[in-house]
Amino acid sequence: MAQQGRVEDGIADSTLRLLRTGGPRAVTVEAVAADSGIAKTTIYRRHANRRDMLSSALSRVASPTPLDPQTEAPDRLRWLIDHAIETIGDGIGLGGLAAMLTEDDPEFTTLFRQILIDQRAKLAAAIDTARADGSMRADIDTEALIDAVVGAYIAERARTGSIADGWRERLFDLLWPAVQA
């Protein structure tokens, strides 16, 4: 059973690495096999096709760690910042984002947009909980807050090529006064 988990992890890690470095067209069963050292037949026993392999790998990064209901409001915003950007930063990378925006690979774009819908629902639920319990302003536009975080991340990466030390805390310092109750 542990071996099966390691194989799945290896497939997912290679899938995401190829996606981040070469975009969705770089992700093929053959490329994942070469990158991971896992036989194509082993990959095909677990995934019917490329789409299934991509879906499995992407669902791992688009599933934020659940937020403890007792988390203080400032830490809820930090959690939101971390998880709103992880799907790009640790998942598809800027190459995958560019491919999605240009619809270079329509199958990938459709798949990833559905995964984003699921992820955003989890992020929105955390904001809505904070709004309901009074720890964040009741009039926060949930979608705009998520978009602001993701947009700031994309802008920072485009401007500097990386995320500077302390960037997340600077973003928190900018947003917290706007969202605190």
Burial of 91 from C-beta contacts in 10 A (0-12 / 13-18 / 19+): buried
Domain boundary (10, 25, 50) is at 50
In-domain check, residue 98: yes
Residues 44 and 68 in one domain: no
In-domain check, residue 31: yes
Reported pTM: 0.80
Residue 180 falls in which region: left (phi positive, over 0), alpha (psi -120 to 50) or beta: beta
Show pLDDT as tens, one digit a residue, over the chain (181 residues). 456 679 999 999 999 999 888 888 899 999 999 999 999 999 999 999 998 998 888 888 767 778 887 888 899 999 999 988 887 887 788 878 888 888 888 888 888 888 888 888 888 988 998 899 898 999 999 999 999 999 999 999 888 888 999 999 999 999 999 999 9
Total number of domains in the chain: 2
Domain region containing 20: 2-50
